[in-house]
Chain A
Amino acid sequence: MTGHHGFAQQEWFEYLEGTLPPAQRAHLSAHLDSCPQCAQLLHQIRAWEQKVEEEARSLVLHVERHPYDLDRMSTEMMCRIRLDSPPALAARGMVFAEAVRLLQSVLDPLCGKGAAASAVRMAAERTGGWLDRRLSSERWPVFVRNLGEGVGAVYGVPAQLLIERVGALVAAEVE
């Protein structure tokens, strides 16, 4: 059905999606009228789609049979937002600054300088309370975990792993 009969895979895709331009659609329809093999496959794909769409609708209704308590969740969310906004970063101490700069330099090519700085600042905010002191072996892993989770949430587990690994290497250097 693809790579032969003179039609590209993208044309078949768009034909099924109903987005193929009219002239190409007419051309492909004419081919289907004369090619039982393609016509049958197309018919089977549509039958599969119809069945799966019906099942997906039922599955969603099954999952949502118990209503969500959005009022409660919304109230809890707003409380978390209020509580999760500690004071802004005020980094002090060369060791801390150097370690942070190193981690940030790993993030720069991944998410851009502005976003990298932002991610570091937010991780530091989440770690909270330690920014007036020099880097300690106790607090550094917490900061690295927060930074990893923050970056991982947007860029995925590999990015999180990268931060955690580099963070562990940095910790070994400064201890």
Chain B
Amino acid sequence: MGISTFELGITETEAVLDFLAEPTQELFGPVFRLYAPRLLRFFELRGCDRELAEDLTQDAMLAAYRRAGFARDHANFRAYVYGIARNLHLMHLRRLGRSGDRVELDAISDTLVSALPDPFARSMLSQSLEKLEVVSRQILTLRYLDGLEYHEIAEVLGMPTGTVQWKVFDAKKKLAEWMRQR
């Protein structure tokens, strides 16, 4: 339900290329309108209410604007933006779980399984994800809910594309076995 590139009169690649060539506020406008709906969805799917999702989306897009120099090229821009969104979400979880100055990194993980809206709480997707280790869960979530390509998932999670593909196949194999045994 976001804005389409047709409505915007410019393709995603054109918008990103224009912005990266000249990272001005004016050229960031189309990028914002293309990416903000995706990030809103990203945060809402991870259990944030609309208000929090808007705040985190604004923070992520501002970080993407101010640190545009970190985006290597337009082909990696989507992964760059989702990487920022994921980091901000983990930082948000960290703040929620903060106790004094002690922070347990192990306690921080993507919480999609417990955050799925009610109608989907017992869905095949939810039940499947519960069967997997955290990394495989993150990969399948980024693939099936956020629609990222494998090389983009690899960029977001900081691992080789081959590892992502191996984990995807391994996870699917496990889930197929699980389905067979049900």
The answer to whether A70 and B36 have CB atoms under 8 Å apart is: yes
The answer to whether B67 and A154 have CB atoms under 8 Å apart is: yes
Contact mask for chain A residues 132-175; partner B; CB cutoff 8 A; 1 contact, 0 none: 00000000000000000110111111101100000000000000
Segment touching B, from A26-34, A44-52, A96-104: A44-52
Q: Chain B residues near A119: list those with CB within 8 A.
A: 67
The answer to whether B179 and A48 have CB atoms under 8 Å apart is: yes
Q: Which of B25, B67, B120, B144 contacts A78 (CB 8 A)?
A: B25
Known: A16-B172, A52-B124, A55-B124. A63 touches B91 (CB 8 A): no
Contact mask for chain B residues 1-23; partner A; CB cutoff 8 A; 1 contact, 0 none: 11100000000000000000000
For the residues of B in contact with A, the DSSP-based class is: helix
Closest B residue to A61 by CB, please name it: B1
Q: Chain B residues near A150: list those with CB within 8 A.
A: 63, 67
Q: Chain A residues near B160: list those with CB within 8 A.
A: none
Known: A52-B124, A77-B32, A118-B69. A84 touches B40 (CB 8 A): no
Known: A44-B176, A156-B87. A59 touches B120 (CB 8 A): yes
Contact mask for chain B residues 164-182; partner A; CB cutoff 8 A; 1 contact, 0 none: 0110111011011101100
Q: Chain A residues near B66: list those with CB within 8 A.
A: 84, 122
A6 at the interface (CB under 8 A from B): no
Known: A13-B168, A122-B66, A154-B84. A59 touches B1 (CB 8 A): no
Interface positions, chain A 40-89, Cβ under 8 Å from B, are 40-41, 44-45, 47-49, 51-53, 55-56, 58-60, 62-64, 66-68, 70, 73-74, 76-78, 80-82, 84
Residue among B32, B40, B125, B158 with max Cβ neighbours from chain A (10 Å): B125
For the residues of A in contact with B, the DSSP-based class is: helix
Q: Chain A nearest CB: distance from B93 CB in Å?
A: 9
Q: Chain B nearest CB: distance from A44 CB in Å?
A: 4
Q: Chain A nearest CB: distance from B105 CB in Å?
A: 7
Known: A48-B128, A56-B145. A82 touches B25 (CB 8 A): yes
Q: Chain A residues near B69: list those with CB within 8 A.
A: 114-115, 118
B119 at the interface (CB under 8 A from A): yes
B132 at the interface (CB under 8 A from A): no
Closest A residue to B144 by CB, please name it: A56
Interface positions, chain B 100-120, Cβ under 8 Å from A, are 103, 105, 108, 116-117, 119-120
Q: Chain A nearest CB: distance from B99 CB in Å?
A: 15
Bound-state Cα–Cα, A48 to B45, Å: 20
Q: Chain B residues near A48: list those with CB within 8 A.
A: 124, 128, 172, 175-176, 179
Q: Chain B residues near A51: list those with CB within 8 A.
A: 124
List 4 additional contacts besides A55-B120, A55-B124; criterion CB under 8 Å. Answer: A52-B125, A73-B36, A73-B58, A77-B58
Q: Which 3 A-B pairs have the closest CB atoms?
A: A44-B176, A64-B1, A13-B169
